[in-house]
Structure 1
Amino acid sequence: MSSLDPLALDPNADVLVSPGYLAGPGGNRSIFNSLDLAPGWTKAVAFGTDTYYTSPCQRVRVANALESFYGGWTISYAEDPLGVPDWITTFDRNTPHEIVAAFTGTLVEGVHNNFADFLSGGRRYTGISPASLTARHRWEPVNGTRPFRTVSPDGHATYQMSVGWLHEYDELLTPEKSTWRMSAGPDPVYTPSWQAFFSRYTPQHLIAASTAVFTDPTPVPRALDQVPDRHRSLVSVARADAAGPGPRAAAALARSTQAQAIHVPPPLAAPTALATHVGSRRQR
């Protein structure tokens, strides 16, 4: 992809940005669409700004609470709809929407039968782990770190795994203590521009869906003014193809639930053992 001088473009120009994890959050319409169109899901709006979704089985709750501490998307699953969640995932307000949409789209597709299609033996099981995806895109493990992490080739994104014992309820209460974390920015470890947290029992196929987008080098569509100022010197920007749909329209199409279903690469022969996720204690 050819790189352009962002200063030479109209701030409202539609462009393609790489890497996607530095492109900014962009619009979140595709996330709302996948949930709005999900059969049987209910939706409630509170305080005029906060949106909440509940799955037909009442086990999954999805919240987009704009004024909350993280301000992005929180997803929880509880085998007992009135019980303590089995797992919680949090995407903060600055997480690129493509990463969130991959998670929620895959969630909607699988929750009707408790993700059986995506588990071992299911018709959509791939066995892909997040570690196999980071390895495929030549992310480097950082040895001797706690938590353990792998870093993108440009050094501006990281996927990390906490090691050692942690009471499961601690990570349910405090996202920063979650077993798995994605983050990106000029300094993705200590001052990340955005973070996503996955507690220990979050199903592997859901994390892998987000990781596939997180690690994908394919440019993502944005309006130029949606790219954070602190990322302008770190990204490559190209004009959108005038012959095709504009990036705003392309984003809605390319990141739809159907597109996400085929976005994850085929399984590797030997996934990295370190990233084997523990299945839900109630789904094993």
Structure 2
Amino acid sequence: MEILGRTINAILKRPFILLFFAVITMIVTGINRFNPIIPILRGLDLITEGSFIESIVSYLQVLFDPSIIPVFAGFVAAFCIVTSLLAGLFLSGCFNVVNNAVANNKKKKGEYITGLRKYFGRIFLITLRSLIIAVLLIVFMLVASVPAIVITNASITSRPELIIPAVFVDILTILVILFGFMFFRAYIFFWYPAALNNEKKYFAYSRKIVDRHFWSIAAIILIFDLVFVLFVYLCTYISEPVIYFFVNWIFYTLFFTLLITYIFSAYRVYSNRIKERM
């Protein structure tokens, strides 16, 4: 409750945080309407004309096609660099405002510009490293999921006696993927506030806090995940484009405002507890 209270208090003290994410999410939500990825995936579904498992296999075959890999790698590299630059440009100032708010620091003029000047490089490098690690992790998870996909497809289409091993392998694969991404996100999330509150060894501070409070952090991340998934599911019932746009805009504004402010608040509370024990 201490973390949640600090989170709400920070948002109330700095309305700029909510306004900032309202602007960013409106822009991203508008751009997302022209996102080509979903139509491409739907096109692959039409081409394969198979089951869900067969569609996944088709996606993996396309992704790991030797002729596609150089193009895909170039696209990923460009995406990582551009996204990191944008993160440094916009989030460095915002994170400084959030960090000052959760620390109960007195509001000062030019907090955003100060954060941009001081933390642009840190946020850029952390985001770039995080995205590269994320891409490698996703590729690893995709490769690791191939046995589960193959055995599941076989049990459904031609080998029903494999259904029990398939279920076991599927559950094991899902747990590995879930915990892998949970650990990854926990360390990455706390890397940012660590960078704003320490002059060096940012990741070491992040790891120290996550290692000591992993299950509490994982529980909160899981709650945010469930809320996000539930919202996405409910949005499938919205057919009116204008309503869909505004509902998404409002939700994502509140979601990311709470998530990021909560992470910074949690870092502040956990780091204070560590200092008290020393």
TM interval, short-chain normalised: under 0.3
Structure with higher strand content = 1
* Structure with bigger gyration radius: 2
- TM-score, structure 2 as length reference: 0.26
Please report the TM-score for the alignment, with normalisation by the length of structure 1. Answer: 0.26
